[in-house]
Each structure stands twice: as structure tokens, then as C-alpha cells.
């Protein structure tokens, strides 16, 4: 019997989050939450917490490491001069610490701390190899427990009490909505590890390293049309949590209007209690294909219902399906017939930075740190920060100089992203707007990359593509 992922805890928590965030689903900026990027929680996930400094004290990770990772991934002692980070001097930094913050949703419905864990490993490596020209990074990670009030309090503590110079690799379902204006008012630059709610992308001082659920859903729809040029109808299935399902499916609908595809939206209740009813409604509407945008446990539930209905149409998913436990959870019925759009490099990519990430996590991570897309995103966020700070006079580094330098990042190259990343002065930040598609297969890590990078055709990104010259 195949393993099934437990989803009850997450579904109950979604109800609480929806209540805390209000009832609106019009896409306006509010403390809404966006649940497209939660990965599934394997039943055999180890229940340990990280203990090596400066790894943040957070809840255990939720995904297993890639199959190609070494069996023993216990955190190693710093290896002098042999690590892919910073100055690679082999000398421990001993100057005045540089305080850097992050807010993550570690406890609550699911552990969403993967990005901060890899950033912590990166900063540990940097500190063991000369720091920022002699100054170590003091990485302070706060857990908002998926609670907007806690997220607001955490931000004020980091900014006003700890005097952080920047927020790096934050990953939360609620904190962008409640803290975006506060960061702008206090001149704090935020490089989010994984932007989740709409406000993570529509804020002057927040720039995520990922694409977000809306772009990932549209990217999946694009590939569906590429596979079947005769496709004229599409179902979008998502959660009705404010600033999530409606926002995402509206994007796919706008894309469809430009490409001759009629999109019908099917939103489930925040607690997922009507998944079976909604999936059957979508199947009875008889679309040519279906796209799901939700956390992995919910997308697994969608597919289980579709399998029970013996549905044979193509199904597609957003990045959150790209979870190493997902293929086993949905079972062989979906092998070679399910595709997901991914926002970063394949986990088994041979790219230089991707392999540096693997090496870094093996040397400076902990055995319960996930090796997943969100971890890759945290690596990228940390690397952007470190590379930028190394270009400054270490004695001049404070919040003002850091914010100016980070917003000035314009052409950051990494093989983990399809295109160069940038921050810049803008009301909308979505530098990561090109992705790939993977297919669920029986071999290897359970996924096979089937496309090269392609731009996501979100009509809302017109100002960004115009600025990029696309």
C-alpha cells in the first residue's frame, strides 16, 4: 500500500489562518496568506531540531533529502578554505558582528523554515572563512507560528531591538502582509527566501528569490497548451484563502483570455472539507486539462480524488508539487501523466552553484535540514547578501548602506535561477519570472526535467518585462 501524506493538521490550520486574514478574496493588499508553496510532510520525517550555531532554532524540516545526497548529512565542523562561500580564507571571523534577521513560519500547520536553514548554513560557512571582510554575520531567525500578530512583533524586535541591517531568506505565509509597510518606513531591505502571499511581490522593500504561486500556476498552464495546442478549456483548482486562490486563478484566466483558453475556477474551502465535491465538479465540467495550485498535501488529495474517478485527462501542478515525497504519495497512477512547473533549478542539477549548495549543506547543514527548492532559494538569498556586502567597506556597513547596496543589485548571476536576479526601485518585484517543467516518473528522484527555461506569461508582469527588455 502506498504511503499517504497526513493533511489534517494543515487543513485545520488553514481555517484558522483564513479567519485571521479576513474574508476578502479580491486580491487587495491585506494580511492574507498564500499556501501554494508548502511541501508535504512525510510520515517518517525526523523530529529533531538544529543545534549548531548559527542555524536558527526552528521546527524540524518537512522533506527528505534528494536521493543523490550522501547518507550521512550530519553537520560537519567548518572546513578551512574548502567551502563555496565568502572569502574562503579558512580564518574564523572575529570582528564586530553584523546582525541580519529573518522571519519564518516554522511551527504551526507546517514547518516553513527551509530557506532560513540553508541561509544559516551559508552564513556559518562565511563566518568560518573570514566573514564579511573580518566581520561575522549574526543571523537571528524568528518564528511567527503562522500568526500575523506574532509576525508583526517579531519584525519590530528584529528592527528596533536587534538593529538588523537586512532581512534575508524570510519565508512566511503572513509576515509580508503585516510588515511590508513597516519595512519601507524603516528603510529595511528584504530578500525573501520564498515569497508566498501577494504582498511579498507588491512591496517596495521586499524582493523574493522565487516566482510565487501565481507565476508557477500560469507556467503550468503554458506547458499544458504547449503539449496540447488544441486545448481550449482548463480548470484551475486552488484554495479560497484570501490573496491566494482567487489571485492565482485570476492570473491563469487572464493568460487564457490572451491564448484562446477558457479557464474555469474551482476553489475549495480553507479547511479542505469539500475537496472531493470540488474536484468532481471540475471533472464534470470536462476541461481539456486541470491545474492545481496549493500545498503538496492538498494537491495530493486532488489527485487521489481524480484517480478514484478514473479521470484520464492531463493534470498539472505548481512548484509545491516538486517534493521528493510527492511521487510515492500519489502512487503509480500518475507516473508519466503529471507535470509541475518549478521555479528554481532541478534538485539534481549539475550547475556550479547548485552543486555548491549541495556541498554547503553537507558540510555546514544539519541532518534534518531539507535539501529542496526552498533550501535552494535560501542559498541564493544568502549568497546575494554576502557577495554584495563583500563589496562594501566593512566599517561602513549599517542598515542605510546595506539597503542602498541591496536595492542596487542589478545583475546577479546564478545557475539556480533561469535569469539574472535584481532588486531595484519598484513597486513590484518578480525578478525570477522564468521556470522549467518536470514530469513525475518512476525512476531517480521521481521527477524528470522536460523543458528548458521559459518566461511565464503573466499579463501583470508587463512593467517588469518592459523594463527587462522582453
> Any bridge partners for residue 237, and if so which?
266, 292
Q: Which residues, in sequence order, are CB contacts of 61 under 8 Å at separation 6+?
A: 45, 111, 113, 114, 117, 368, 369, 370
Confidence band of 343 (pLDDT split at 50, 70, 90): very high
How many other C-beta atoms are found inside a 10 Å radius of the C-beta of residue 352?
Answer: 12
Instruction: Classify domain 213-343+434-468 by CATH number.
Output: 3.40.50.2300
Nearest Cα to Cα of residue 321 among 307, 303, 308: 303
**Which tens digit of pLDDT belongs to each residue from 201-253?**
999 999 999 999 999 999 999 999 999 999 999 999 998 877 888 999 999 99
Rounded to two decimals, the pTM is: 0.81
Q: CA angle, corner 7, sides to 5 and 11, nearest 5?
A: 165
Please give the CATH topology (third level) of the domain spanning 48-210+351-407. Answer: Rossmann fold (3.40.50)
The predicted structure's pLDDT at residue 20:
53
> What percent of the chain shows pLDDT beyond 70?
82
Say what the pLDDT of residue 51 is: 34
pLDDT at 21: 53
Contact predicate 174/241, CB 8 Å: no
Task: Please state, rounded to an integer, the average pLDDT across all residues of the chain.
Answer: 84
E strand or H helix at 383, and its extent? helix 373-389
**Cα(381)–Cα(343) distance, integer angstroms:** 14
Whose CA is closest to 38, among 365, 318, 379? 318
Up-side HSE of residue 381: CA atoms within 13 Å toward CB?
35
Query: Of 284, 194, 269, which is closest to residue 238 (Cα–Cα)?
Result: 269
- The residues facing 132 across adjacent strands are 135
Cα dihedral 358, 360, 366, 372, rounded to 10, equals -40
Q: How far apart are CA 451 and CA 454, in angstroms?
A: 8
Kindly report the number of other CB atoms within 10 A of residue 4's CB atom. Answer: 15
Domain residue spans of the chain? 48-210+351-407, 213-343+434-468
Q: Do residues 292 and 265 lie in contact, with contact meaning Cβ atoms separated by under 8 Å?
A: no
pLDDT tier at 110, thresholds 50, 70, 90: confident
Sign, CA dihedral 431-155-398-384, equals negative
Per residue in 278-316, pLDDT (tens digit) is 999 999 999 999 999 988 888 999 999 999 999 999 999
If we measure between CA atoms, which residue out of 373, 361, 345 comes closest to residue 119? 361
CA atoms within 13 A on the CB side of 390: 16
The closest alpha carbon to 345, from 336, 335, 334, 353, belongs to 353
In whole angstroms, give the CA distance from residue 69 to residue 48. 19
pLDDT at 236: 98
Amino acid at each position: 500500500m502506498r504511503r499517504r501524506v497526513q493533511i489534517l493538521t494543515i487543513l485545520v490550520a488553514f481555517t484558522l489562518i483564513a479567519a485571521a486574514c479576513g474574508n476578502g478574496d479580491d486580491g487587495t493588499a491585506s494580511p492574507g496568506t498564500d499556501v501554494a508553496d508548502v511541501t508535504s510532510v512525510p510520515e517518517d520525517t525526523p523530529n529533531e531540531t538544529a543545534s549548531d550555531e548559527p542555524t536558527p532554532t526552528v521546527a524540524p524540516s518537512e522533506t527528505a533529502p534528494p536521493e543523490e545526497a550522501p547518507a550521512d548529512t550530519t553537520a560537519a565542523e567548518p572546513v578551512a578554505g574548502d567551502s563555496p562561500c565568502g572569502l574562503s580564507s579558512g580564518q574564523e571571523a572575529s570582528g564586530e558582528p553584523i546582525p541580519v534577521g529573518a522571519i519564518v513560519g516554522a511551527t504551526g500547520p507546517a514547518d516553513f523554515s527551509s530557506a532560513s536553514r540553508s541561509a544559516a548554513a551559508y552564513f556559518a560557512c562565511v563566518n568560518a572563512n573570514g566573514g564579511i571582510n573580518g566581520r561575522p554575520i549574526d543571523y537571528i531567525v524568528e518564528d511567527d507560528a503562522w500568526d500575523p500578530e506574532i509576525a508583526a512583533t517579531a519584525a519590530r524586535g528584529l528592527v528596533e531591538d536587534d538593529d538588523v541591517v537586512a532581512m534575508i531568506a524570510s519565508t512566511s505565509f503572513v509576515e509580508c502582509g503585516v510588515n511590508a509597510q513597516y519595512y519601507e518606513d524603516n528603510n529595511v531591505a528584504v530578500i525573501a527566501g520564498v515569497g508566498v502571499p501577494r504582498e511579498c511581490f507588491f512591496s517596495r522593500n521586499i524582493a523574493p528569490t522565487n516566482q510565487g504561486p501565481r507565476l508557477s500556476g500560469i507556467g503550468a498552464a503554458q506547458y499544458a497548451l504547449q503539449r496540447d495546442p488544441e486545448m481550449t478549456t482548463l480548470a484551475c483548482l486552488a484554495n479560497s484563502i484570501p490573496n491566494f486562490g482567487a489571485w492565482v486563478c485570476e492570473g491563469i484566466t487572464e493568460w487564457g483570455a490572451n491564448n484562446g483558453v477558457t479557464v474555469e475556477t474551482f476553489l475549495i474551502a480553507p479547511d479542505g472539507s469539500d475537496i472531493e465535491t470540488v474536484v468532481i465538479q471540475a471533472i464534470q465540467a470536462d476541461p481539456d486539462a486541470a491545474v492545481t495550485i496549493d500545498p503538496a498535501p492538498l494537491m495530493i488529495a486532488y489527485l487521489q480524488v481524480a484517480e478514484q474517478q478514473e479521470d484520464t485527462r492531463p493534470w498539472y501542478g505548481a512548484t509545491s508539487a516538486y517534493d521528493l515525497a510527492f511521487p510515492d504519495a500519489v502512487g503509480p497512477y500518475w507516473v508519466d501523466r503529471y507535470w509541475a512547473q518549478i521555479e528554481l533549478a532541478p534538485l539534481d542539477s549539475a550547475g556550479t552553484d547548485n552543486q555548491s549548495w549541495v556541498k554547503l549543506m553537507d558540510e555546514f547543514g544539519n541532518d534534518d535540514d531539507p535539501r529542496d527548492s526552498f533550501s535552494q532559494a535560501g542559498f541564493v538569498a544568502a549568497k546575494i547578501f554576502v557577495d554584495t556586502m563583500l563589496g562594501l567597506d566593512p566599517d561602513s556597513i549599517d542598515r542605510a548602506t546595506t539597503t542602498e547596496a541591496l536595492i542596487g543589485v542589478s545583475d546577479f548571476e546564478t545557475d539556480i535561477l533561469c535569469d539574472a536576479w535584481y532588486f531595484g526601485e519598484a513597486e513590484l518585484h518578480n525578478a525570477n519570472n522564468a521556470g522549467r517543467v518536470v514530469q513525475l516518473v518512476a525512476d531517480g528522484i521521481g521527477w524528470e526535467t522536460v523543458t528548458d527555461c521559459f518566461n511565464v506569461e503573466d499579463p501583470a508582469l508587463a512593467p517588469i518585462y518592459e523594463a527587462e527588455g522582453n
